[in-house]
Structure 1
Amino acid sequence: MELGVEIVCSHNLYSVCTDNHNPIGAWLWQTISLRRMLTESKTLNDRIVVEEVPSSDRWLQPILTAIRENRRLRIGYHPFGREASETVVSPYFVQMSDRRWYLFGLRGTETALKAYALDRMEACSMMEETFALPEEFSATEYLKEHGIGRYENIPETEVVLRAYGRQVDLLRTLPLHTSQHETKTAEDKAEFTYILRPTTRFFGDILACGKYVKVLSPEWVRRHLKETLEKIVTYYK
């Protein structure tokens, strides 16, 4: 069941059972299946285009080892627009999002998790020192509330938006957030409600929908998006 799949034999008949509560297993199974398909389709190399994940080939392996053994990491980190520095991090979990791997961990005596993009790391080494992961901690629950980064200062908010045209089906098949649920449906539009901390990434996802999405509430989210759009307009004057 490491891959989330179990083959069951009963009366000389085989059936496949999947573990819907094992997202990592499902992801591994999909990855293996895709790799097999690509291997069998070598003659189509110039007709199969995949996105590269540049941050996965250098630091992911030692980070996963440190997570498995609950050992602290010493990393050299160079954020955009700031000086590089070295820090010690207790690694909690990793996440891949938008072609980028992130390490979430605690730094020193801090109590709030911070996200570190692997492609901004200049060094990474595992230490002998260990740490204790809280028994009640859940990476999935953390991401539902916080997303990428540190957003404890942003209040959890109910956001309602209206989608138009084909964007309705796009949101149905690829939700903007795990809390998304459809609250109103019409012939050419639908309303979706979210419970989350609106972050820069969430605002960016809304703006990426262009004219096909309109935020209905709350007012402070509408105002933030309006100010962003007004700023963008000045770039084209």
Structure 2
Amino acid sequence: MAINQLNKYVWLVETIHRARKRGGITLKEIQSRWLDSDISEGTELSRRTFINNLHAVEELFGITIECGSGYRYHIECGDCFEEGSARNWLLNAFSLNVMVGNSRKLKDRVLLEDMPSGRNYLEDIIKAMRDNRVIFISYYSYNAEKYNEFDIHPYFVKAFKKRWYVIAYSPGTDDVRCYALDRMENVIISDKVFKMPKDLEPADYFKDCFGITNNKDSEVQKVVLKVDAFQSNYIRNLPLHDSQKETKRTDEYSIFEYHLKPEFDFEQEIFSNMDAMEVLEPLWLRDEVAERLRNLMKKYKI
């Protein structure tokens, strides 16, 4: 239900944004397009609901929709759709669902990756982020095999490998950590307010990382991978990291160089391509992958 409501907000933003070159769009036109889309579920868009949605869009995304001359609505936000902006990223997270939902013919022909962890608490966490509100969560620990209850300061959210994570400060541990939404049993927005650290830039937080692991004690290192020619095609077109450089290319293999923190998520990526990748540097990472391969061979009695 929460995701469906977010999709409606995104539909409204995109509908108005697409009309920007012709000076905006009237409420009557919006209502007509609303009924033509599957997201309406055959229900008319009343003026009252429309106004409520405008307020929700401003609160959730920081996007102001204004009514100009000729009663035409337009988005009053210069950087809302800039590449890499938080708003653009968040809108893109839901926009494909909206586009597919608008076409009955394509609905069964576009198969989207399911991200169930965002269904329950994503909207609440976004609301808390908007107002810098502390949230109380019940979070499952795999090590202790039980739920622990504590407060966190939600800084930003990130999607990775079909899961949503909130990166938050935990007063109990005095540390910034990643919390998976699918391990939460309860989320309560409190009245307590926190201050965002002035030196925290969400876009830069993971710039030296692969995935959602960012150990503050880890250092950026040079990692060199030897990848067979076939798999290199995929890595070349979809780099593993922004620092990726192809330093050598032959008919049999390519050499890729990275500068990042080689944490657990990156090692998992290498291991998932173990028949096509070889770690050349650093030596400790090569030895670690080799040890995992030896353990795997024991399991298969090779």
How would you bin the TM-score normalised by the shorter chain?
0.7 to 0.9
Distance 1:86 1:30 in 2: 29
1:39: Cα distance to partner?
3.0
Q: Is the Cα–Cα contact under 8 Å of residues 73 and 90 in structure 1 kept in the other structure?
A: yes
Query: Which 5+ residue runs of structure 1 have no aligned equivalent?
Result: 10-16
Q: Give the aligned partner of residue 140 of structure 2.
A: 78
Q: Which residue does 1:154 correspond to in 2? A: 218
Query: Quick check: 1:88–1:108 contact (8 Å CA) kept in 2?
Result: yes
> Aligned AA for 1:76?
S
Report the identity percentage: 29
The 3-state SS of whatever aligns with 2:203 is: helix
Note if contact 2:135-2:189 (Cα within 8 Å) is conserved in structure 1: yes
Residue of structure 1 equivalent to 2:201: 138
Can you list the C-alpha shifts for 1:96-127, whole angstroms capped at 9, x where unaligned?
A: 11110001111116443111100000111111
What per-residue deviation string (whole Å, max 9, x for no partner) do you get for residues 39-64 of structure 1?
31x34544432221111111001100
Q: Which has the larger radius of gyration?
A: 2
State the match for 2:10 in structure 1: none
> Could you say which structure has the higher helix fraction?
2
- Select the residue among 189, 205, 215 that pairs with 2:279: 215
1:20-57 deviation line (CA, Å, top 9, x unaligned): 343641662574355324531x3454443222111111
User: Under a length normalisation based on structure 1, what TM-score does the superposition of the two structures give?
Assistant: 0.85
Q: Give, in whole Å, the separation in 2 of the partners of 1:62 and 1:35.
A: 20
Does residue 192 (structure 1) correspond to residue 256 (structure 2)? The answer is yes
The alignment covers a number of residue pairs equal to 228
User: Which residue does the alignment assign to 1:12?
Assistant: none
Q: CA deviation at 1:69?
A: 0.8
* 2:150 is the alignment partner of 1:117: no
| Deviation >6 Å, runs of 4+ | none
Aligned-pair CA distance for 1:194: 1.2
Q: Does 1:59 align with 2:125?
A: no
Unpaired runs of at least 5, structure 2: 1-12, 23-78
The reply on whether 1:104 has 2:167 as its aligned counterpart is: yes
More displaced 10-residue stretch of structure 1: 18-27 or 77-86: 18-27
Q: Does 1:172 align with 2:243?
A: no
- In the superposition, the TM-score normalised over structure 2's length comes to 0.68
Distance 1:30 1:81 in 2: 31
More divergent stretch after superposition (184-193 vs 195-204): 184-193
Q: 1:126 aligns with which of 180, 189, 192?
A: 189
- The worse-fitting range, judged by mean Cα deviation, of 150-159 and 51-60 is 150-159
SS of equivalent residue, structure 1 residue 35: helix
SS at match of 2:279: strand
Cα deviation code 1:151-184 (max 9, x no counterpart):
1233321101111122111111222223222222
| Cα distance change, pair 142–225 in 1 and its aligned pair in 2 (3 A) | same
> What is the CA–CA distance in structure 2 between the aligned matches of 1:89 and 1:23, rounded to whole Å?
21
Query: 3-state DSSP class of the match of 1:49?
Result: coil
